[in-house]
Structure 1
């Protein structure tokens, strides 16, 4: 059942404190800010909606596209989670009304009806319209997750988010958090037995609503290397020392902490040589759980393979050809793990089982190869696409690339003074427009210069490829952050140090509340 207070009331009660964020090519101020939790790209979301990706046949056919959309807005909330939640809330009954006045398939209280939008284009935003309420359910879940995501991750974040939806975030966050900034804000599971039963029921039934992505449309043939997940929290890094890694004496891969059920994609084209439990066939041991191994052939004169471990489900088979960005399975916690995540390994120089000396840092390798000559936006958009759409496609090729203040060039990620390879916010949009126009358009480097040089437009005129500039605080209220509009209320951006290029909803949350101006690049 939905909490009884409105979203705005909850935010006011929490006393959210957002200090100055800035510095994407302008000036960098110290900041404390709630973490933005990125959703899947609009292209992937559309692909999900049309093909029912990630959901089993237990989801009624008429709701598949809305459950998929609601579960694709942020990493903490997945389509199977939304489906299990609906079952617990209303048992899929769009006419359900609770004794306390909660209405509809997702059981929204009247105080939260303001979150509901017209999702199916019938001209009415209504709590009795399943499409409208299901997507609003995902939006509200993601907002609650954002209150918690600086301190919690994985299944713990999912459980706390579900509890917040059931009883309200003000009953999950500690009392002292009403006046504290979110990064220092602890949260606890309420002792209320009904809340705990609600969370346990959903967590235990999520699996039956998930399907293996056996036939998701393929990615890009060739194409640049890309990260295996859209958004994540870094954990174990390559060559990290520790007794838990007994084989080589160090961590042989890179850990992407994501909730169970997150789509895992091929980082590059190749042939699947193993798809199953880690201890069989060409696998590298039972500790890896369910894993997929891809042979990428000869790269720069050496054989290269990637290993995707701890999956909850696998959607490809040995011998299958895969393309860059093709779904391989869903993340999980199988094998020897301490929590849900994707463990990615990469070996160079061996075409068989890897040896300790053949491992390389997969995250760094992908970043370094993201700007190969294979960065070709023509394979990502149709030939009659607008230049703005091409700019969007160019920006999407950098999803998952590390934030680097002062880094990023016209042809891809580059290092800054401290050696971090990546983009900051203004260099990302500059790269995207340069690539989209074949080098014909070069916009200024910093946010302030860009605001002064580009043509102003109104919010109502926004089109994909347009740029959004924000005043995130600091001396003089400068325009200190920029993102590129994708459509559907979303933008792609490089947020701040310690994050990666990601996608965020700008119609609610932090970016909807701060001063914004809009610009268009002329071609």
Structure 2
């Protein structure tokens, strides 16, 4: 579901490069430290000055937050275009650009395809919606991001982040990006091997929607999109298996597949190694499945209700979005 007044999230086809069955994310995935005036996230060199300047447009926006948002929207792809019609590096819908786009480089025109216009416009729009939802209860940053994605009116009506899956995943993903530790230090090969072995030890464990935690298999919840309940089954869903496997390696990951992607750093096909996470979806916010790469084009995963944890080819689904490596949390 997509709000008509909001900026649309960039889709995988524009935020990634297809290499055979593998989709390689071109967005940066290294770390940020949340709010603050310094930029610690990894940003393509040509965009760093723009992010650093625009990221200080108002007190509610920081360079790291703006960098995380652009990473989420387009992976810093200035030619990104979504099926819904969102355009450019900041994925503005034409109507939103018409009312909120600015001439950032003062060349006499407002060009949604020009990062020198689109990035400052994105920051300005964030400041605008932050002001519009400033009196809404809850976390101010989350409400601002939700308003950017789904429109201020929805946030005001809901009294916080609205109950829209895409918007909730969007907010969680960007917040996770801004909270990653500086430097983008990813899981070591030893930690990855431990995670793979932990997942192998669960081969044959039943799938359970919402099942699995850091301690192992558990009863899940109701209900999956097709109505399947995991409340009576002790097992794992896809992200529950990943959470457990990496907990055994001493790495704490978020619960959902989309949030796990936001807490990981994309890798190129030539850099893939066992333990990397394979994500499926049309965009970072719409990621719906994750598996653990074991080599040779295969993953371990908890596929769907009615199945068990098993090996599958990584091209098991047609919407393979990215392969990424977990970034350990500071809390570990």
For the superposition of Structure 1 and Structure 2, which TM-score range results when normalised by the shorter chain?
Answer: 0.3 to 0.5
TM-score when normalising by structure 1: 0.27
TM-score when normalising by structure 2: 0.42
Higher relative contact order structure (alpha carbons within 8 Å, sequence separation ≥ 6): 2
Q: Which has the larger radius of gyration?
A: 1
